[in-house]
Amino acid sequence: MRLIALFASALSLWLSRLTKLVLALAALVMVGSLLLGVFYRYVMQDAVSWSEEVALLGFTWTIFLAAALAVREDAHVRVSLIDSVLPGTGNWLLRQLIWVAIALTGAFMVWSGLEFIELTIRQVSAAMRYPLWFRNAAMPVAGALITVYALCNLERRKTFQERLA
């Protein structure tokens, strides 16, 4: 069991580093595209047709990857009214149920995202003509990451009790 926990921890760490790299690149592409679009529109007096599409592509990937990383870091907003009044075992059980629900939500994102890709597989963007499945793939990729991160965040009761002490 300890070997599985070590593997899950290593996988989570490796995936988070890769996710952060892709997230930074997507954000850079988004901001660079928007700045270039503004520069061409107001300085060069000539609009580029592809700037908004590239920014939307970068924005989509940035949002979904950041949401997945927030699951790994346990950084999503939550109301802690219930878990603050529950005793140790009840609190632990509630946290486990929350992580399972998050993992199931991630799995649903994978399933529905793949269904959506199937619907849009032959579509291309208007200006750049890139396949829209590339933008739409952000949802199932993020769903898979959310599922992995949530399952890796499941805690053994002993570890949880040590953290509370």
- Residue by residue, DSSP assigns 26-72 as HHHHHHHHHHHHHHHHHTSS---SSHHHHHHHHHHHHHHHHHHHHHH
Decide if 114 contacts 90 (C-beta within 8 A): no
CA–CA separation, 165 and 155 (whole Å): 15
Look at residue 7 in the predicted model and tell me its pLDDT. Answer: 85
Q: How far is CA 9 from CA 32, 47, 113, 121, 151, in A?
A: 34, 47, 26, 35, 10
CA–CA separation, 116 and 98 (whole Å): 26
Number of structural domains in the chain: 1
* Residue 3 in this model has a pLDDT that exceeds 60: yes
- Taking the alpha carbons at both ends of the chain, their separation in whole angstroms is 23
CA–CA separation, 154 and 142 (whole Å): 18
The domain in which residue 89 lies consists of 2-164
Look at residue 9 in the predicted model and tell me its pLDDT. Answer: 84
Amino acid at 8: A
Percent of the chain with pLDDT over 90: 69
pLDDT, one tens digit per residue, over 108-163 is 999 999 999 999 999 999 989 999 999 999 999 999 999 999 999 987 655 655 55
CA–CA separation, 26 and 67 (whole Å): 14
pTM as predicted: 0.88
Kindly report the CA angle at 109 between 59 and 55, in degrees rounded to 5? 10
